[in-house]
Structure 1
Amino acid sequence: MGCYVYSIKQVVEMLDIPSVTLRAWENRYQAVTPERTESGYRLYSQENIEDLRWLKEQTEKQGISISHAVRLLRARKEKPIEDPHAGAGGTPQEAFEKMKQQIYTALLEFQGERANALIDFGFSMYGYEAMFHQVLVPVLVRVGDAWEEGTATVAQEHYMTHMVSNRFYQFFHVFPVHAHLPKVLAFCPEGEHHQVGLLLFSLFLRKNGAEVIYLGANTPEEGVMAMLENQNRIGAICLSLTGKELLPYCEGLIKRLSEACPGVRFILGGKGFEGAEFPSSEAVAIINEPAERWQDWFDYLFTGVKSRP
């Protein structure tokens, strides 16, 4: 235990955290527990200061909610999570593999609190992009494979997919929207249940300032058409397809969507669209490049850069 020597006014000045925010963190989330003087005034220790500084960094720089940041702080203090960097000679890839296994096992056993703490720990260590590409996407792929192989139950697959997908959705609200960019509609056609690639690409678009209406997997056509009647700013539609069996339906769907929303641009991704040809090449872009090349495509399609990747 440290000495409690700092007043709330000093903490506010040192950390640039408004006093109302500081009190909310304490009262709602028990972020820190200051001492009280006989008159009822708060006094904070140096440890409290360091904890608050760390929480502020997680919420502002990593985009983690305060509730998740507090949970992560407790996990770090109680050390229930094995640091993936532990062990001499470990490479970054080995650390990612270790974290993937820990998260997958926690979700498989319906340990949501532990899984979220592990994910928060990963965000604080590696940042959101590395965690999504190196850990969470592989976890989702592994979950899908386990379900198809019969080694994971339907309940496990639904639970695990829901938990990981929620972490993607959280970041949709972190990045600002640029009004000059077209609004994007993103969904998987009816019959397509694999949405990992679409989720990742939608998050990439949001990071670049595009407003994304994300409908997810297995989206009925009539629902999309009904939504388009009330949306007049849709400039692009993203479709994801993993298998060729739905390609004929998607070709017809794209034609019908073009008629319902004249001038809209289509961005198609997934193995199901590889090698497909469409009459209007200017209105349809098939992105089969790795994630490292997505920025080139975005610049070409949305910012007027003429050098096509």
Structure 2
Amino acid sequence: MSQYSIRDLEQLSGIKAHTLRIWEQRYKMLVPKRSDTNIRTYSDQELKLLLNISTLKDHGYKISEIAKLKESEIKEEVFSLSDKVMQYSDQIQALTIAMIDIDEQSFETIINKNIETHGIEKTMVNVIYPFLTKIGILWLSGSIGPSQEHFITNLIRQKIVVEIDKLPTNYDPNAEKVVVYTPEGEYHEIGILFAYFIFKNMGKKVIYLGQSLPFEELKFIIEKEKPNFVFSAFTSFSTSQDVQNYITKMGTTFHDQTIYLTGMQVVSQKLELTKNITIIHTVNQLIALGANS
């Protein structure tokens, strides 16, 4: 069972820590464990309860009314909302609960409905990426385990692969070519898979090399295929200095090559870039890159 700090609950639910403390005192809705130094920790069950409370509150329920309900009644009220059009924030909360419970059926229901209604691009922009941002922070802080993170990211991976397979492959020898990969030691694949979908959907010839590609293999492919540009992502790649060293090596080795990079470790820090490297900060920038490059 995972344990969460009050800051974790604030990050996931959107409810301020100060408000949570007031609710604990006034309504006894959450009963955290306390360490010898009086630090609060919360269980999976309390996180799920809070996410459901947050959902009801977002739909106009007063906290004083919610506090009168049993936990089972709160779940029933949330379930009744699923028959209506759920807001994106509701769906992110529901995905979080699905991750905690290792609940594949709930995940499938939420994501499939979004893809059918809005398509994979809007689903990624409005639901999956905001969800992964929250989960990534918790994973890095150690509040959730690798098994939960792997469970949910592998399900997301499957969805993107299905959408990629639906697209026709461009065999035109004159089509724009793009190499997509992550560097050796980087195993987070969701970002580059979505990039693969975007570029293929725009009619580009995508040379998808997957995760953890050795630098010499990248060099071989670039020299052989001479792509129009290269796309890569850095999410959990060793240290900040290693990221800088790799990017510098990449920019100088392929000085005539246009390179686009994304991921938490390049977006969140100030890096020295060669002129041929551009950082993609948002998913909307990625979509625009696919359309304009």
Q: What interval of TM-score do these two structures reach, taking the shorter chain for normalisation?
A: 0.5 to 0.7
In 2, Cα distance between equivalents of 1:206 and 1:176: 8
Distance 1:155 1:297 in 2: 33
Structure 1 residues 127, 297: closer, same or farther in 2, change over 3 A? closer
> What secondary structure sits across from 2:167 in the alignment?
coil
Aligned partner letter, 1:232:
E
Task: Decide which of 254, 258, 264 is 1:265's aligned counterpart.
Answer: 258
Given candidates 269, 272, 276, the residue that maps to 1:276 is 272
The 8 Å contact of residues 187 and 239 in structure 1, kept in 2 or not, is answered as: yes
Unpaired runs of 5+ residues, structure 1, are 1-80, 302-309
Deviations 1:56-96 (A, max 9, x none): xxxxxxxxxxxxxxxxxxxxxxxxx9586646xx7xxx611
Structure 1 residue 144 and structure 2 residue 136: aligned?
Answer: yes
Q: Does residue 1:189 correspond to 2:183, yes or no? A: yes
2:245 paired with 1:248 = yes
Q: Give distance in 2, aligned partners of 1:228 and 1:163.
A: 31
- 2-side partners of 1:191 and 1:220: how far apart? 9
State how far apart, in whole Å, the 2-side matches of 1:233 and 1:155 are: 39
What is aligned with 2:215? 221
Per the TM alignment, residue 248 of structure 1 is displaced from its structure 2 partner at its CA by: 1.6
Residue 100, structure 1, aligned to residue 92, structure 2: yes
Cα separation, 1, equivalents of 2:279 and 2:152:
28
**Alignment of 1:160 onto 2:152:** yes
Shift of residue 218, structure 1, vs aligned partner = 3.6
Residues of 1 paired with 2:193 and 2:212: CA distance?
13
Deviation of 1:265 (Å)? 3.1
Residues 210-256 of structure 1: per-residue CA shift (max 9 Å, x gap): 13233344433244346557x53633211223574312222213433
Question: In structure 2, the residue corresponding to 1:203 is in which secondary structure?
Answer: helix
1:130 alignment partner, one of 122, 125, 143 = 122
* CA displacement at 1:203 relative to structure 2: 2.3
For 2:248, give the aligned amino acid. Answer: E
Task: Give the equivalent residue in structure 2 for 1:112.
Answer: 104
Question: Tell me, what secondary structure is at the counterpart of 1:253?
Answer: helix
Q: Which position in structure 1 is the counterpart of 2:4?
A: none
TM-score where L is the length of structure 1: 0.55
> Would you say the 8 A contact 2:247–2:273 is kept in 1?
no
8 Å CA contact 1:168–1:203 kept in 2: the answer is: yes
Give the distance between the partners of 2:231 and 2:145, measured in 1 at CA: 30
Larger RCO, structures 1/2 (Cα 8 Å, 6+ apart) = 2
* Coordinate RMSD, CA, aligned: 3.3
> 1:187 is paired with a residue of what secondary structure?
strand
> Matches of 2:247 and 2:214 in 1, distance apart?
12
Indicate the residue corresponding to 1:50 in structure 2: none
User: Where in structure 1 do 4 or more consecutive aligned residues deviate above 6 Å?
Assistant: none
Distance in 1 separating the partners of 2:192 and 2:287 = 15
Counterpart CA distance in 2 for 1:266 and 1:294 is 13
1:134 shift after superposition: 0.8
What is the TM-score of this pair, normalised by structure 2?
Answer: 0.58
Quote the residue 1:200 is aligned against.
194
1:114 partner letter? S
Shift of 1:140: 2.4
Comparing 285-294 and 131-140, the one that deviates more? 285-294
Q: Quick check: 1:84–1:99 contact (8 Å CA) kept in 2?
A: no
Distance 2:156 2:227 in 1: 27
Tell me which structure has the larger Cα radius of gyration.
Answer: 1
Rounded to whole Å, the distance in 1 between the matches of 2:121 and 2:204 is 17
* 1-structure distance, mates of 2:251, 2:257: 10
Deviation at 1:208, TM superposition (A): 0.7
> In the aligned structure 2, how far is the partner of 1:264 from the partner of 1:244?
23
